């Protein structure tokens, strides 16, 4: 974990990763969309707390992984870039979906890992203009 000034914390590699290799899992509470929206309302009332909800579809069902609570899991700290060097993939483990991040290209040690958060809605861009970059 490294601090990137105004961007905040981020994650850098400590070893080489090959294209297609598993890098990190996005770990948090697996919840449905209704619960996720309720949590977002609560999180929005506390400006000191962010919101680390990742929405995705797996086997034609919508899910959310909420990684807002501080933890030792690195996936929640991977920053956004439209041209990220990771790609997300939903996989099934013990009957439940998990989100993993895979290297889009070979990565050298010391490289900041990034992925495209994907949200370009008008509302999201108004609150988080950095999503456009």
CA dist., res. 61 & res. 33, Å (int): 10
Phi (first) and psi of residue 8, to 5 degrees: 90, -155
**61: pLDDT confidence band, cut at 50, 70 and 90?**
very high
The full set of domain ranges for the chain reads: 2-132
Q: Render pLDDT for 117-133 as a digit per residue (tens, 0 to 9).
A: 765 445 544 554 444 55
pLDDT score recorded for residue 51: 83
Mean pLDDT of 55-82: 92
Q: What integer best gives the mean pLDDT of the chain?
A: 87
Evaluate whether 80 touches 117 at the Cβ level (below 8 Å).
Answer: yes
At 84-99, the pLDDT tens digits run 999 999 999 999 999 9
What is the CATH number that goes with domain 2-132?
Answer: 2.170.270.10
């Amino acid at each position: 974990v490294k601090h990137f000034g105004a961007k905040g914390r981020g994650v850098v590699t400590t070893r080489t990763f090959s294209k297609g290799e598993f890098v990190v899992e996005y770990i948090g509470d697996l919840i449905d969309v209704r619960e996720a929206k309720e949590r977002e309302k609560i999180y929005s009332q506390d400006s000191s707390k962010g919101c680390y909800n990742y929405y995705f579809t797996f086997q034609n069902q919508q899910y959310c992984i909420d990684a807002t609570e501080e933890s030792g899991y690195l996936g929640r700290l991977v920053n956004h870039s439209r041209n990220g060097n990771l790609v997300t993939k939903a996989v099934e483990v013990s009957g439940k979906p998990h989100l993993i991040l895979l290297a889009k290209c070979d990565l050298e040690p010391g490289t900041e890992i990034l992925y495209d958060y994907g949200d370009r809605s008008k509302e999201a861009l108004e609150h988080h203009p950095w999503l456009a970059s």
